[in-house]
A and B are shown apart, each in its own frame.
Chain A
Amino acid sequence: AQSVAQPEDQVNVAEGNPLTVKCTYSVSGNPYLFWYVQYPNRGLQFLLKYITGDNLVKGSYGFEAEFNKSQTSFHLKKPSALVSDSALYFCAVNPFGNEKLTFGTGTRLTIIP
C-alpha cells in the first residue's frame, strides 16, 4: 500500500520568516515525490518534483523541498515567506514504475503580514 501524510492541517508563518510544510510517505520502492499548490478558486499547480539525483529540489516561486530517504520525508521549504504564498499545499507520491499518484490531505499555509 502507498500513502502520504501531511501532519499539519494549518500552518501560520509571519511574513519574512522561513516556512516549512511537512510531508512524509510510506511506499515500497523508490518514489517519485511532488508538491502542488492550490490558490483560492483555482486548480492545483505543479511546484516541484523529486525523481532522482540531488536530494534538494528547487521549484517555482522560490520554493524548495528536501528528499530524506531515511526519514521518508519530503518537506517543502522557503527561506522567506510572502503573503502571496498563502494557499493550500498538497504533497503527492508515486512509486517508481507505478502510475497512480496519491495525494495527501493538504496543508493550509497562511502568511501573516
Chain B
Amino acid sequence: ETGVTQTPRHLVMGMTNKKSLKCEQHLGHNAMYWYKQSAKKPLELMFVYSLEERVENNSVPSRFSPECPNSSHLFLHLHTLQPEDSALYLCASSQDKGTGDEKLFFGSGTQLSVL
C-alpha cells in the first residue's frame, strides 16, 4: 500500500449525473494532485493543491471541480461529463510542492466510465 486511498475503485455514470471521487492520504504530505490516465496517452495533470490551496489548474473543463478541505483529503466533483472523460483518475501526494524533485505517491485510481 502506498498510503494513498481512492474511492470508489470503479464508477459508471450517465452524462447528467453528479458524482464525486475521493482521495485520502495517510502520509502527512502537504501537496495533493489529480491526474487523468487514458490509454496510450501521457498522464495529464489536472489539479495541484499545496497546503489546501489550489496552485495549478491545467485548463481543465469546468465540469471537473476539485475540493481540498484539508491536507489529507482531496475530492473531484463531476457533473455533466462526456463519454471522452472516461479514464482512470489517479490521485497522488508528495511531501511538498517545491523544486520538483519530490517523488509522488499514487493511489490505485478510480476507473470512470461515462455512458
Q: Are B103 and A42 in contact, with the CB atoms below 8 A?
A: no
Q: Are B106 and A43 in contact, with the CB atoms below 8 A?
A: yes
| Most chain A Cβ neighbours within 10 Å, of B2, B43, B56, B109 | B43
Question: Quick one: CB contact mask for A59-102 with B, threshold 8 Å, 1 for yes?
Answer: 00000000000000000000000000000001000111111111
Interface of B is mostly: loop
Tally of A interface residues using CB under 8 Å: 27
A45 part of interface (Cβ distance < 8 Å): yes
B61 part of interface (Cβ distance < 8 Å): no
| Most chain B Cβ neighbours within 10 Å, of A9, A34, A44, A49 | A44
B74 part of interface (Cβ distance < 8 Å): no
Neighbouring A residues of B45 by C-beta, 8 Å: 100-101
Q: Are A101 and B99 in contact, with the CB atoms below 8 A?
A: no
Q: With A97-B99, A99-B99, A99-B100 in contact, is A105–B42 under 8 Å at CB?
A: yes
Instruction: A85 to B68: give the CA distance in the assembly, Å.
Output: 35
Neighbouring A residues of B6 by C-beta, 8 Å: 43
| Most chain B Cβ neighbours within 10 Å, of A43, A44, A98, A99 | A43
Instruction: A96 to B98: give the CA distance in the assembly, Å.
Output: 11
Neighbouring B residues of A49 by C-beta, 8 Å: 101, 103
- Give min CB distance, B53 to chain A, whole Å: 14
Q: Are A99 and B40 in contact, with the CB atoms below 8 A?
A: no
Chain B residues proximal to chain A, CB less than 8 Å = 2, 4, 6, 40-43, 45, 56, 90-92, 97-101, 103-109
Chain A residues proximal to chain B, CB less than 8 Å = 4, 9, 32, 34, 36, 41-46, 49, 51, 90, 94-106
Some 14 contacts from A to B, beta carbons below 8 A apart, are: A9-B40, A32-B100, A43-B92, A44-B43, A44-B92, A44-B106, A51-B101, A97-B99, A99-B97, A99-B98, A100-B100, A101-B104, A103-B42, A103-B43
